[in-house]
Structure 1
Amino acid sequence: MRDIAPPADSNLRTAETSLVVRAATPADAEAIMRMRSELILTEPLDEAWTAAGSADLARRLEPGGDARAVIVVSQDGRPASCALGFVHRLLPAPAYPKGLAGRVHLVATLPAFRRRGHARRAVSALLDQLASEGVTLFELNAGEEASPLYEQLGFAPASSMMRMTRLVAREDQAPGPPPAPHYAETVPKFTGYACVLLTDQGGRPVQLHATYSSSHPWQFPGGTMDHGEQPLQTAQRECYEETGLVVKGPLRLLASAFTPPGGPWPFGTAGWIFDGGCLTPEEIRSITLDAEEHDDVRVLAVEDWKGLMPAQDFARLEAVMAARATGTAQQITWGWGDA
């Protein structure tokens, strides 16, 4: 805990009594965490742990959470000092009938604002806030140099107790969720895509001939998801871009397709195939292809597609058609090979 010395210049303290002292909100969590990291800890936290701690503290500062904090705001709107505490429950006793205790966890002040009484103001406001909630037992750990400040605020040494700690060695520690940025680096990466099954009114599949893939020449209208899209949105967008047809929802999901990493693409893929419905002869004739991606469109009976497609592509087509016929969505595993 810092900023425990008396003000070096009483004029400075008087000039800064106009600084705003307010309760912290979840939006202040990151600033508090950075002050803790930079001013309190002997070894500052890296960005991943700062982000994880900020997210945790923001949740605990929400209504109903156990964290309480006070911010002293400088003239430029930034936190100059802060005091953070936590409320925890005890068994009720005459001295604390509500069974509530408040522990002052940290007090920190930016170097440019020290020795001006900001820490005292922050701690006093924090104690008042805790008292207003029924807290009657207040606890903290203070170093020798900080003791005079807290004694002036009513704290007394608890000589009958010895503070003891036990930190589980990291190799024995039960695994918990690592910081999100670190964890994200360890999980598999996948590309998402979505497409639609279109047939004519006789139930014959409509497929497009790709100019960019000799291994998988005949395909459903569809493509890769853009950032922020949901699969259904991708299927509708790609169908319009590749055929000029507007497929209206809601579209029924026929199949999901999983492809493990391999072949020319370094990531796995996860795809969704939706039922785009039956097209009239007029709609089929109106299909307009994007010449950079497709150069032909055909409407054939399922069995007639077999000789035009790799075995796994034809198996996917059969599975999708079966899903439409039975109403049961299919799970398809599809690889990069031609077999």
Structure 2
Amino acid sequence: MSVRDATPEDIPELVRLREILADRMAQDGSFPVDGHWQEAYADSLRERLGSDDTAVYVVDAPEDGLAACGIGLIFERFPGPSLPDGRYGYIQGMTTDPGHRRRGHSRAIMSMLMQWYRDSEIRRVDLHATSDAEPLYREFGFVTDGHFYPSLTWRHPS
């Protein structure tokens, strides 16, 4: 198994894997799935693949398509005491096709993403985990970060 950078040719498979993750997250009760996001997701991937603030890593399936993927993003906000340069990371879309799970694909992608963040001198990385993936992220040092301030989200009621 080898991890590689995603290419524009991978976008249909990246959308397919994101659909799998959206369905899984809905099972955990995270949020309702809107049925009209795939085209915007594909367009965004086309725009961001290869940019300095985005890393998209994939593992090819032995037969065809992708077995797994993961996306790392770098965002910037105002600098502060915990983020002197204001930059932080967010991991999105970590997904392994159900037929390829338990083979180390996500672990290999996470290793690449975390190295990319270290190389980019990112000091904080956030993510949202499904109950299935939480143990893996904890192995990489992720912790519940609601000790001092609650994590709150607002969603438009539509």
Once the two structures are superposed, residues 69-125 of structure 1 have per-residue CA deviations (whole angstroms, 9 ceiling, x without a partner) of 110112335210111122111333565443211111121101111011111111121
Instruction: Determine if the alignment matches structure 1 residue 138 to structure 2 residue 90.
Output: no
Partner of 2:40: 52
Q: Which of 10, 15, 20 is the aligned partner of 1:38?
A: 20
From 52, 67, 72, give the equivalent of 2:59.
Answer: 72
TM-score by length of 1: 0.40
For structure 1, the 5+ residue unaligned runs are: 1-18, 171-339
Instruction: Please tell me whether the aligned partners of residues 61 and 68 of structure 1 are also in contact (alpha carbons under 8 angstroms).
Output: yes
How far is 1:149 from its partner? Answer: 1.4
Q: Which has the larger radius of gyration?
A: 1
1:127 maps to 2:114: yes
Q: Distance in 2 between matches of 1:79 and 1:169?
A: 35
Matched with 1:165 is: 153
Give the CA deviation at 1:68: 2.0
- Looking at structure 2, the residues matched to 29 and 44 of structure 1 have their Cα atoms a distance apart, in angstroms, of 20
The total of aligned residue pairs comes to 150
What is the SS of the residue equivalent to 1:75?
coil
- C-alpha contact (below 8 Å) 1:82/1:122 kept by paired residues: yes
1:101 corresponds in structure 2 to 88
Q: Give, in whole Å, the separation in 1 of the partners of 2:83 and 2:151.
A: 21
In 1: Cα distance, 2:9 partner to 2:87 partner? 26
Out of 82, 89, 104, the position equivalent to 2:76 is 89
Cα offset, 1:33, TM superposition: 1.8
Q: Structure 1 CA distance, aligned partners of 2:41 and 2:65?
A: 20
Which amino acid in structure 2 is aligned with residue 107 of structure 1?
A: M
2:20–2:95 CA contact under 8 A, matched in 1: no
Q: Does the Cα contact within 8 Å between 1:36 and 1:106 map onto a contact in 2? A: yes
Instruction: Output the aligned Cα RMSD.
Output: 2.4
Are 1:96 and 1:135, in contact at CA under 8 Å, matched by a contact in 2? no
Distance 1:144 1:36 in 2: 17
Per-residue CA deviations over 1:111-140 (Å, capped at 9, x if unaligned) read: 111011111111121121122122121111
* Residue equivalent to 1:27: 9
Q: Which runs of 5+ in 2 are unaligned?
A: 27-31
Partner amino acid, structure 1, of 2:15? M
**Aligned mates of 1:119, 1:104 — CA distance in 2:** 12
Q: Which has the higher strand share?
A: 1
2:37 aligned counterpart, secondary structure: helix
8 Å Cα contact 1:83-1:104 kept in structure 2: yes
- AA aligned opposite 2:101: R
Q: CA separation of 1:143/1:89 partners in 2, compared to 1, >3 Å: closer, same or farther? A: same
Amino acid at match of 1:126: L
Q: How many angstroms apart in 2 are the aligned matches of 1:78 and 1:144?
A: 26
Could you tell me how far apart the structure 1 residues matched to 2:39 and 2:139 are? 35
Equivalent position amino acid for 1:84 in 2: I
CA distance in 2, matches of 1:37, 1:31: 10
Give the number of the structure with larger relative contact order, counting CA–CA contacts within 8 Å between residues 6 or more apart: 2
CA distance in structure 2 between the partners assigned to 1:160 and 1:28 by the alignment = 40
TM-score (norm 2): 0.79
